[in-house]
Amino acid sequence: MLGKFYSRIKTRNFSFVTNILLYLVAVILALPLFFLLSPHLPEINIPLGAGIHLEHLLFSILVVGLSIYIVIRLKHLVLILLALGLTSIIINSARGGYSFQDAFQDYVVTLYNLQNNPVAVPLMAEDYEPFQDANKVAEAVHQQAPEVRKFAVKIGTKHFQDHVNKDNRSLIQSFSIFKEINNNWVYVSDPAGEEYFASADETISQQQIDGKFNGDCDDHAILMAACLKFVGSEVRLVRTTHHIYPELKIGSKDQLDNATFLIRHKLFTKESKKKSIYYHVDQNGVIWLNFDYTGRAPGGKFLQEDIVGILEF
């Protein structure tokens, strides 16, 4: 008698735990779908407070309910896949590989980027005119001055060191360089009727006087490119009709998602709030992030000018 009673209690507890687990899986699956589709909902102008709108509330109920229904109907398959997934992560984690923390981080990054999609700005042509003054600019960037390397390493390790790991070191150091230069940049025009290209060490020596970097857009682009190269990043310069700005090589869409998460959620939360992140994709599918001084966070809005040349190093 007691054995049967104990067996029933065990069964009920197991069913309860299983159902909770299934509901949790349903919610985990529903959230990405909600963030992916919610921007396309027709707007119902009945605000409910705290940024919640009626169409979002109704749609979230629908998505979660549908997800729960599908998971419950396929519960045996879901439980098998869940067990295989958990086992795989446990084994990999024990070997020092992909862990539960990595899985959680990837999930958070996915949700965050679904809410804050970066903006790809198409390049207007694959072939541009020769980059005007390319030799002068390239020479200024490539100047092998020990002072530039020391300075690049110094500002590359000044900010965000709590977020550095073996996979993102160059990216974090590049973001640190962006922050230091752009937060202290003061625009100064060239002499009237003259195009003057200040080398990186010249701009750095000026900064040592009053703590500010001084120069125009090409001086900024040269300094940024030189410093980024010294921390192992790849950079190119884009010339428009009246402007030059640097772009940092990001690489793939997954790498962009990681960079976007770092910008919005970790490193430039205030500066990037409610702002889009802009980038170019070249003819090889490689992503380049805007590093201009016009934005207080990487990926600021491009100036609305035609691109007339690109200088890659």
What pLDDT score was predicted for residue 2? 44
CA nearest neighbour of 244 among 215, 213, 221, 278: 221
Residues 258-279, mean pLDDT to the nearest whole number: 90
Q: What is the pLDDT of residues 19-38, one digit of tens each?
A: 888 888 888 888 888 777 77
Query: 120-312: what CATH class?
Result: alpha beta
Structural domain boundaries in the chain? 2-115, 120-312
Contacts of 287 (CB under 8 A, 6+ apart): 249, 250, 251, 252, 253, 255, 256, 279, 280, 281
Q: Does residue 229 register a pLDDT over 80? A: yes
Taking the C-alpha atoms of residue 249 and residue 57, their distance in angstroms, rounded to an integer, is 39
- Checking 92-99 for CB contacts under 8 A at 24+ apart, the result is none
What pLDDT score was predicted for residue 12? 53
Neighbouring-strand partners of residue 53: 47
Q: What is the pLDDT of residues 179-215, one digit of tens each?
A: 999 999 999 998 887 888 999 999 998 887 888 999 9
Contacts of 209 (CB under 8 A, 6+ apart): none
DSSP 296: S
Question: Percentage of the chain with pLDDT > 70?
Answer: 83
Q: Does residue 101 register a pLDDT over 90? A: no
Taking the C-alpha atoms of residue 253 and residue 272, their distance in angstroms, rounded to an integer, is 19
Name, of 75-89, 101-115, 123-137, the range with top average pLDDT. Answer: 75-89
Q: Quick check: 38 and 114 in contact, CB under 8 A?
A: no
What pLDDT score was predicted for residue 115? 60
Computed over every residue of the chain, the mean pLDDT equals 84
What pLDDT score was predicted for residue 130? 78
Taking the C-alpha atoms of residue 222 and residue 139, their distance in angstroms, rounded to an integer, is 10
The full DSSP string for 87-138 is HHHHHHHHTTSS-HHHHHHHHHHHHHHHHS--EEPPPS-SS-PPPTTHHHHH
Pairing of strands 278-281, 244-251: unpaired
* pTM of the predicted model as reported, rounded to 2 decimal places: 0.67
What pLDDT score was predicted for residue 157? 96
